[in-house]
Amino acid sequence: MTLTIRPATRTDLPALIALYADDGLGKNRDGGAVDDAYLSAFAAIDGDPNHILAVGEAGGEIVATLLLSFLPGLSRHGAWRAQIEAMRVSSARRGQGLGRMMLDWAVAEAQSRNCRLVQLTSDRQRDDAHRFYERAGFTPSHLGFKKILETE
């Protein structure tokens, strides 16, 4: 299978929103039309060189996505790290190696920017994803915490 990985464009937003909603957890958080919130978030990501919103395209269809962010830090002797967020593969295309291609691409991008580590978080309910990340060489080394902030 040929997968083309490229930066997302504004016109990709409907397909990306659909990928986020094509998910047991995401269906309650995402979906619907491209609105001002999605447009504003895309503009912020697209305008910052430390973020790459990537899409995986196969047969002219967007079938995967992830957000790759590059974070400076003082720990680990001033090491940069790469953070992978919101990685999704179309439910109809899972099991075809697309997720691994996306992940390998992200790790290569991190290496090209001299990052010392790549990190990601995954919801505790995503057992299949956890097995996938461990097979790809990631270790469950930390316990993550989140706090949802109410907005007006």
Query: 3-class SS at 66?
Result: strand
More confident residue, 124 or 14: 14
Whether residue 18 is predicted with pLDDT greater than 80 in this model: the reply is: yes
pLDDT band (50, 70, 90) for residue 27: low
Start-to-end Cα distance in the chain: 45
Q: Which among 12-16, 91-95, 130-134 has the top mean pLDDT? A: 12-16
Whether residue 22 is predicted with pLDDT greater than 70 in this model: the reply is: yes
| Distances 77 to 15, 43, 72, 116 between C-alpha atoms, Å | 40, 32, 11, 10
pLDDT band (50, 70, 90) for residue 28: low
Tell me the two tokens of residue 45.
């990501």
Task: State the helix-helix crossing angle for 13-21 and 36-46, rounded to 10 degrees.
Answer: 110
Task: State the helix-helix crossing angle for 127-135 and 98-112, rounded to 10 degrees.
Answer: 50
Cβ atoms within 10 Å of 118's Cβ, excluding its own: 18
Q: In the chain, where are the structural domains located?
A: 4-135
| Distances 56 to 13, 101, 130, 146 between C-alpha atoms, Å | 13, 9, 21, 28
Residue 87 in contact with residue 65, Cβ under 8 Å?
yes
Mean pLDDT, all residues of the chain: 92
Taking the C-alpha atoms of residue 82 and residue 36, their distance in angstroms, rounded to an integer, is: 28
Please report the sign of the dihedral spanned by the C-alpha atoms of residue 97, residue 87, residue 34, residue 7.
negative
Predicted pLDDT of residue 32: 80
Q: For 65-123, write each residue's pLDDT tens digit.
A: 999 999 999 999 999 999 999 999 998 999 899 999 999 999 999 999 999 999 998 88
Domain 4-135 superfamily per CATH: Gcn5-related N-acetyltransferase (GNAT) (3.40.630.30)
Predicted pLDDT of residue 30: 78
